[in-house]
Amino acid sequence: MSFAFHDQTLEKIAALRERYPQPQALVLPLLWLAQEQEGWLKPGVFEAVAALAETAPMEVYRVATFYTMFHLEPVGTYHIQVCKTLSCKLCGQAEILEALKAKLGIGVGETTGDGRFTLSEVECLGACGSGPMLQVNETNHENLTVEKLERILEGLA
């Protein structure tokens, strides 16, 4: 049940280690690799990362809690992150968010019962000229309309 990096990942990590003066620099890259493998930073991750980065598990936990994109709890298969900052807000973000909440039947910060969708509001995603917009996992959907939302959700099988 405990976490372990896959063998191919360990090879990647060894190569990555060569690129930094000290192993502590690996903390963020390793947290990303662990999250990509498991979907979230499950028990055992901090110990495994700490061993490779030559630091303490509690230090890794401390770092992980600072950054918004690291999940310390499971998230839905599709993490829908809607930008809430000023430019998007000025261009109709509120309507998009309300439509999403209605379609998914959940509020901000919640996950659908079937575990497929988690809905979040996030700060500026750097797409200010094409708002309102959202990110599903690592894909951007920009210039949103309520009609487009339908197609986006349908596309997520």
Q: 9 vs 14, 34, 69, 70, CA distance in Å?
A: 9, 9, 20, 19
Site size for another protein (CB under 8 A):
42
| Residue of 67, 73, 147, 154 that binds another protein (CB under 8 A) | 67
Task: Establish if 24 lies at the interface with another protein (CB under 8 A).
Answer: yes
Q: Which is nearer to another protein, 68 or 145 (CB)?
A: 68
- As a whole number of Å, the end-to-end CA separation of the chain is 29
Q: What's the order of all strands across the beta sheet hosting 134-136?
A: 117-122, 78-83, 134-136, 139-141
Closer Cβ to another protein, 31 or 149, answer by number: 31
Q: Would you give the DSSP letter of residue 45?
A: H
Contact between 119 and another protein by CB under 8 A: the answer reads no
40 sits near another protein (criterion: CB under 8 A): no
Distance (Å, rounded) from C-alpha 49 to C-alpha 32? 10
Stretch that binds another protein, among 5-13, 64-72, 104-112, 147-155 (CB under 8 A): 64-72
Of the candidate residues 3, 9, 17, 25, the single one contacting another protein (CB under 8 A)? 25
Q: Cα separation of 150 and 128, whole Å?
A: 22
Smallest gap from Cβ 107 to another protein, in A, equals 17
**What phi and psi, each to the nearest 5 degrees, are found at residue 71?**
-95, 115
Dist CA 35 CA 149 (whole Å): 27
Q: Which of residues 73-92 bind another protein (CB under 8 A)?
A: 84-87, 89-91
Which residues of the chain form contacts with another protein (CB under 8 A)?
19-22, 24-29, 31-32, 53, 55, 62-63, 66-70, 84-87, 89-91, 122-131, 135, 138-140
